[in-house]
Amino acid sequence: MLDRFFALFTSLGDHGEIWFIILLILFVMKKTRKVAILGLLAISIEVVLISGIIKPIVMRPRPFYANPVDLIIPVPRGSSFPSGHAASSFAVAMVLYFNNIKHKPIYISLAILMAFSRLYAYVHYPSDVLVGTVLGIFIAYEVTKYQDVLLKIMNSILVRIGIKKEIAP
């Protein structure tokens, strides 16, 4: 029963689905739209940093290669270090937390469960999940700290590419 639960739960983080659904719900509401954009920015930074830079450099094999076991999920591609699932989960959850979005325990619990699911599924070492978690929290902190500047830059880009009209001062 736990195998099925964690297999399903970890699959909700394969492409960030669970977080994109939450961010979409927040984006629809005008009051939380900016925070949803910050969450999307945080997850984008995480993908570039971890999948684009760190994983290809480190190339750490996953634990099931060192100790073969029957996996509860399909064999994941790519290297193990750090955990992108943990990083993206904590990047979004902590952006929501730092910006005082309601239901903080739910977001944090989802991130913790996502990180643990990667250990339970035996596709990451504990250090992969720990470093992914720390990177996610760091990304969220930096995105929140510089949110005014980042939102101005994003707004400027949207105006330049014609998605948004410039509003006269």
Domain membership of residue 107 as a residue range:
2-160
CA atoms within 13 A on the CB side of 47: 11
Average pLDDT of the segment spanning 29-49: 92
Does residue 114 carry a pLDDT above 90? Answer: yes
pLDDT for the residue 165: 63
Domain tally, the chain: 1
Reading the block at residue 70, the tokens are 């029957």
Average pLDDT over the chain, rounded to an integer: 90
Rounded CA separation 143/95 (Å) = 7
Average pLDDT of the segment spanning 40-48: 94
Q: Is residue 168 part of a domain?
A: no
3-class secondary structure, 135: helix
Q: What percent of the chain has pLDDT over 90?
A: 58
Average pLDDT of the segment spanning 64-91: 91
Average pLDDT of the segment spanning 67-93: 91
Rounded CA separation 169/167 (Å) = 6
Q: Domain holding 124: CATH number?
A: 1.10.606.20
pLDDT for the residue 91: 97
Q: Is residue 166 part of a domain?
A: no
3-class secondary structure, 29: coil
pLDDT for the residue 168: 45
* pLDDT grade for 78, boundaries at 50, 70 and 90: confident
pLDDT for the residue 102: 87
